[in-house]
């Protein structure tokens, strides 16, 4: 066999290979999900169980500021909480790849360095979209409705994915910094209180005096309040500046988190090769 008659392939630029390598790693991540049905069931089942648990078990005991059905008040919070807990999935996947030597393998291959982080970001955003779709169907089944119209509803889901996008980089940075998957699991002890001290379940105005402002300034509360407004659901609008500008802050907080943690994650990955 000779290669004399074969013409060389077209030259490819750095952007082409960055996109191609990113697509390859996205495909790898999605194939891993197919091979881990238990992980998929846990990741998608937890939000559904949470909706049923909080909506029906605790719902009758909750008071909505200004009146309204508690399930309509709760669902934007559950959407936001699901996006927030996705941080743990990202961190666990990254630290697992590091522990198995997959990161070392990637660094030894002729591939775009940016593909590892961007591939993780794209694949996790695709999984988050699937989670939101399943959770929305569950919410509609239990009686939740969106009265914000098509545009408002679409904008609300866009804000939720924007929050998830920013937390992906927090998760990648944590995954590269933590030593093992057990340490990544311990992130739950941090994330759970952060979601509780927010407006996910109750209005900050109903919390103790010092805790209410903390919950109001929690970035999670801004996304919850903004999506409640866009969905046309009962809200918990307080009198603080951050609560009065929830839509603005639902964009500003994720952009600020991305601006801080995306460079940190990239720098952390680059240091692995030194």
The DSSP line for 97-135 is HHHTTHHHHHHHSSS-THHHHHHHHHHHHHHHHHHHHHH
Residue 45 lies in a domain: yes
- Report which of 166, 188, 206 is spatially closest to residue 73, judged by C-alpha positions: 206
Give the whole-angstrom CA distance, residue 252 versus residue 78. 21
**Average per-residue pLDDT in the chain?**
84
First-residue to last-residue Cα distance in the chain: 42
Residue 9 lies in a domain: no
Q: What is the pLDDT of residue 66?
A: 72
Domain enclosing residue 252, as ranges: 14-272
Residue 70 lies in a domain: yes
What is the arithmetic mean of pLDDT over 188-194? 89
What is the arithmetic mean of pLDDT over 244-269? 92
52's tokens: 């049923």
**Local structure of residue 9 (DSSP, 8 states):** P
Residue 4 lies in a domain: no
Structurally, the chain folds into a number of domains equal to 1
What distances in angstroms separate CA 162 from CA 7, 128, 135, 136, 234, one per listed residue? Answer: 45, 11, 17, 17, 22
Q: What percent of the chain has pLDDT over 90?
A: 27
What is the arithmetic mean of pLDDT over 181-190? 84
Residue 2 lies in a domain: no
How confident is residue 56, by pLDDT bands cut at 50, 70 and 90?
A: confident
Residue 6 lies in a domain: no
Give the whole-angstrom CA distance, residue 78 versus residue 73. 10
Residue 131 lies in a domain: yes
């Amino acid at each position: 066999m000779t290669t004399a008659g074969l013409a060389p392939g077209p030259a490819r630029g750095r952007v082409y290979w960055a996109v191609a390598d990113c697509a390859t790693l996205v495909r790898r991540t999605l194939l891993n999900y197919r091979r881990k049905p238990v992980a998929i069931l846990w990741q998608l089942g937890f939000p559904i169980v949470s909706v049923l648990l909080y909506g029906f078990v605790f719902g009758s005991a909750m008071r909505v500021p200004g009146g309204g059905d508690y399930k309509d008040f709760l669902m934007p919070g559950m959407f936001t909480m699901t996006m927030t807990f996705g941080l743990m999935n990202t961190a666990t996947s990254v630290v697992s790849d590091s522990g198995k030597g997959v990161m070392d393998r990637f660094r030894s291959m002729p591939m775009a360095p940016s593909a590892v982080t961007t591939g993780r970001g794209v694949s996790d955003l695709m999984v988050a979209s699937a989670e939101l779709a399943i959770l929305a169907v569950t919410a509609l089944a239990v009686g939740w409705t969106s009265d914000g119209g098509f545009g408002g509803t679409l904008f609300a889901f866009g804000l939720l994915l924007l929050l998830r996008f920013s937390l992906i980089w927090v998760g990648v940075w944590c995954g590269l910094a933590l030593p093992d998957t057990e340490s990544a699991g311990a992130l739950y002890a941090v994330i759970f209180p952060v979601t509780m001290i927010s407006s996910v379940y109750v209005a900050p105005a109903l919390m103790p005096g010092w805790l209410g402002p903390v919950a109001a300034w929690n970035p999670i509360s801004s996304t919850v309040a903004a999506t409640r407004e866009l969905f046309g659901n009962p809200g918990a609008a307080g009198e603080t500046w951050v609560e009065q500008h929830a839509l603005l802050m639902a964009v500003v907080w994720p952009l600020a988190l991305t601006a801080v943690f995306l460079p940190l994650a990239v720098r952390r990955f680059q240091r692995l090769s030194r």
